[in-house]
Amino acid sequence: MKKWGFLLLLLLCLFLSFINKESFFESKADIPNVEVLKYDQHENDKAEDRRASENSRQTDITEEQIYQGNLLLVNNEHPVHEESIKSDVVNLTIHNELTQGYVLLGSTNYMSMDIAQKFSEMMADAGKEGLHNFAITSGFRSFEEQKILYEQMGSDLALPPGYSEHNLGLSLDVGSTQMKMEHAPEGKWIEKNAWKYGFILRYPEDKTDITGIQYEPWHIRYVGLPHSAIMKEKGFVLEEYLDYLKEKKKVTTKIDGKKYTVSYYPFSENMTINLPKNQEYEISGDNIDGVIVTIYD
Ligand SMILES: [Zn+2]
């Protein structure tokens, strides 16, 4: 009996020490892990700072950069500056390779080479999907051409010289050779797909109060990726997108597995920003008072 009692006591002791150990492990596992994590995180931050300073360089930002790039806002409050006009405007009548998959109508002869190439890529894909009736009715317009147009069409239908995105070289009027763009399959295709190629519908039907311009299903504007994708997803026009960037300061997004970081900086005298050495980046002004830096792999 004594033996059994001793054995029972031994078993009880073992059981208790087991329970204690369990709870001991549990409590120990809970708290120190968090500390370890915190500690590691701290080390990570320091390492990241170190890496960032090793892999980036201080770059001066000049005032002219407010007026250069693909994100320039042009509207009745913010006219086109001479230095903002695309410098790669070409005569399309001698560049057949850039006018495949669509026709040029009216007196449209000039376009930015860069924008024409991007538009051509889009047209090639539209063609594969069976859309073959695209036309461009207007590309780049000089201030002089804009002046003539304004005098002919009047202020209801045309903008004064310097206030049209066409003067910038980043916009195109795209039509259908078959019918009005608002009814054409080409119009539907553009509305659905243009963002993939960096283009946006600049004057949507439901944003006339913000843009100050009537619905223009034909007028597309190049802003580039990831901006066109973010704008499409959030339903922003350019005015709203720039306000959003100003408010958020930094936005990150992933498109087709590619990561983009978009940061807004208000311009100031003697301004410098950190730019990565091992990543691609683009800088664009907003045509108001700041610059947007887009970093991608
Ligand atoms: Zn237009």
What are 271-292's pLDDT values in tens digits? 999 999 999 999 999 999 999 9
Q: Which residues are catalytic?
A: 216
96 or 284: which leads in pLDDT? 284
Ligand 1 centre distance from Cα of residue 173 (Å) = 5
**What is the pLDDT, as a whole number, of residue 55?**
84
5 or 212: which leads in pLDDT? 212
**Are residue 10 and residue 130 in the same domain, yes or no?**
no
How far apart are the C-alpha atoms of 114 and 188, rounded to whole Å? 24
**What is the pLDDT, as a whole number, of residue 147?**
95
Q: Which of 31-35, 153-157, 214-218, 225-229 has the lowest mean pLDDT?
A: 31-35
**Are residue 77 and residue 216 in the same domain, yes or no?**
yes
Question: Do the bridges between strand 134-138 and strand 103-104 make them parallel or antiparallel, or are there none, so unpaired?
Answer: parallel
How far apart are the C-alpha atoms of 243 and 211, rounded to whole Å? 13
- Cβ atoms of 135 and 103 within 8 Å: the answer is yes
How far apart are the C-alpha atoms of 219 and 217, rounded to whole Å? 6
**Are residue 66 and residue 54 in the same domain, yes or no?**
no
Q: What are the tens digits of pLDDT across the range 215-263? A: 999 999 999 999 999 999 999 999 999 999 999 999 999 999 999 999 9
**Are residue 7 and residue 91 in the same domain, yes or no?**
no
**What is the pLDDT, as a whole number, of residue 113?**
95
Whose structure tokens read 């539907």? 188
Ligand 1 centre distance from Cα of residue 255 (Å) = 28
**What is the pLDDT, as a whole number, of residue 171?**
96
Region of 201 on the Ramachandran plot (φ > 0 left; ψ -120 to 50 alpha; else beta): beta
DSSP 164: S
Q: Please give the model's pTM, rounded to 2 decimal places.
A: 0.81
94 or 14: which leads in pLDDT? 94
Whose structure tokens read 């006009």? 85
Q: Which of 75-84, 152-161, 194-203, 204-213 has the lowest mean pLDDT?
A: 152-161
**Are residue 161 and residue 200 in the same domain, yes or no?**
yes
Share of residues in the chain with pLDDT > 90 (%): 76
| Residue at a domain's end among 11, 30, 58 | 58
The whole-number average pLDDT for the span 95-118 is 90
**What is the pLDDT, as a whole number, of residue 157?**
87
DSSP 78: B
- Nearest of 254, 267, 264, 266 to residue 296 by alpha carbon: 254
**Are residue 7 and residue 73 in the same domain, yes or no?**
no
**Are residue 21 and residue 115 in the same domain, yes or no?**
no
- Number of domains making up the chain: 2
Quickly state the pLDDT bin for 44 (edges 50, 70, 90): low
Ligand 1 centre distance from Cα of residue 217 (Å) = 9
How far apart are the C-alpha atoms of 73 and 258, rounded to whole Å? 26
How far apart are the C-alpha atoms of 177 and 276, rounded to whole Å? 46
Residue 42 has pLDDT above 80, yes or no: no
**107 three-state secondary structure:** coil
| Amino acid letter, 113 | M
Average pLDDT, the chain: 87
**What is the pLDDT, as a whole number, of residue 54?**
78
35 or 250: which leads in pLDDT? 250
Residue 80 has pLDDT above 50, yes or no: yes
Ligand 1 centre distance from Cα of residue 219 (Å) = 4
**What is the pLDDT, as a whole number, of residue 43?**
53
Ligand 1 centre distance from Cα of residue 234 (Å) = 23
Residue 125: exposure state from Cβ atoms within 10 A (0-12, 13-18, ≥19): middle
DSSP 166: G
Ligand 1 centre distance from Cα of residue 282 (Å) = 25
How far apart are the C-alpha atoms of 199 and 156, rounded to whole Å? 25
**Are residue 156 and residue 35 in the same domain, yes or no?**
no
Q: What are the tens digits of pLDDT across the range 168-190? A: 999 999 999 999 999 999 999 99
- Cβ atoms of 36 and 44 within 8 Å: the answer is no
What's the order of all strands across the beta sheet hosting 134-138? 103-104, 134-138, 171-176, 219-222, 199-201
Show the domain range for 71. Answer: 62-296
**Are residue 28 and residue 74 in the same domain, yes or no?**
no
- Cβ atoms of 236 and 271 within 8 Å: the answer is no
**Are residue 159 and residue 276 in the same domain, yes or no?**
yes
How far apart are the C-alpha atoms of 222 and 238, rounded to whole Å? 11
Residue 20 has pLDDT above 90, yes or no: no
**What is the pLDDT, as a whole number, of residue 61?**
97
**162 three-state secondary structure:** coil
**Are residue 77 and residue 205 in the same domain, yes or no?**
yes
How far apart are the C-alpha atoms of 17 and 14, rounded to whole Å? 5
Share of residues in the chain with pLDDT > 70 (%): 82
Whose structure tokens read 């190439």? 117
Looking at residue 203, which CATH number applies to its domain? 3.30.1380.10
**Are residue 35 and residue 69 in the same domain, yes or no?**
no
Chain-centre distance of CA 221, in angstroms? 12
Chain-centre distance of CA 118, in angstroms? 15
